[in-house]
Amino acid sequence: MRTSEAGRLRHLTAAITAGMLTAMLAACGGGDPSAGPSPSTPVSSSLAPTTPAPTSTSPSQSEAWRSHFNAAQLRAYDAALQRWEDYESRSEPIWAKGKATAAAKALFMQYYPSPAWVGVWNTLQTYQQAKVKIVGLPKVYWSRGKSITAAASDVVIDQCLDYMPVQRTQDGQAIQPPNPKPQLRIVELYKAPGHDWLVRSVTTSTDKKFRPCEP
């Protein structure tokens, strides 16, 4: 491998601070219809008016946010959260092996709309080239609905996480230990008619923009 290429890959792997993906993966229109529906407008203009959840992260109020939504919205939240948790558990072995296989691509296409899944797939390919593996999942202190559209078709989930259980290696050597402080992750999902919930974007902390939270 050329020196410049090796340096580029080292720079990329040094930026792994969130256990899975650190960049927001926003879905755009077009692409392969077999990958699932794509929103035709940006998130900010496509969402119906939402009801915000409380901002407090106090454990005693961890379920208080549910009182701000109706039954249909809460069912949507529960289904969206389950969908995200299914993706995490199914994708963990993929990142642990660090191999860009056909099965991995199929999984990404199942949970992300087109062309957002391409970004996840490209990340896995980069990790394979750099011999990066990510083993384990972060501990979830709590999850709650940040916003849910009136039509219950779009859900934004806040999660407070501990990334210490996640192990990262490059060519067998430990790299970039996780930040020990609890941090916020924001997951946006949407549901189009005839399709299951899809991941619109995932926003995590970075060194430059750390999002703390209270467990």
Q: Is 113 helix (H, G, I), strand (E, B) or coil?
A: coil
Neighbours of 176 (CB within 10 A): 15
Q: CA end-to-end span of the chain, whole Å?
A: 43
Q: Which helix (H) or strand (E) holds 169?
A: strand 167-170
Which pLDDT does position 62 carry in this prediction?
66
Query: Can you give the pTM of this predicted structure?
Result: 0.75
Instruction: Judge contact between 125 and 115, C-beta under 8 A.
Output: no
| Sign of CA pseudo-dihedral 203, 208, 214, 215 | positive
Architecture field, domain 3-39+68-203: Roll (3.10)
- What single letter denotes the amino acid at residue 30? G
Question: Tens-digit pLDDT profile for the chain (215 aa)?
Answer: 444 444 444 455 444 433 333 433 333 322 333 334 433 323 332 333 344 444 334 444 568 999 999 999 999 999 999 999 999 999 999 999 999 999 999 999 999 999 999 999 999 999 999 999 999 999 999 999 999 999 999 999 999 999 999 999 999 999 988 899 999 999 999 998 889 999 999 999 887 899 999 99
Four-CA torsion 194, 147, 200, 45, nearest 10 degrees: 90
What is the C-alpha radius of gyration for the chain, rounded to an integer number of angstroms? 18
Which pLDDT does position 207 carry in this prediction?
78
Which pLDDT does position 39 carry in this prediction?
37
Max distance between CA atoms of the chain, in angstroms, equals 57
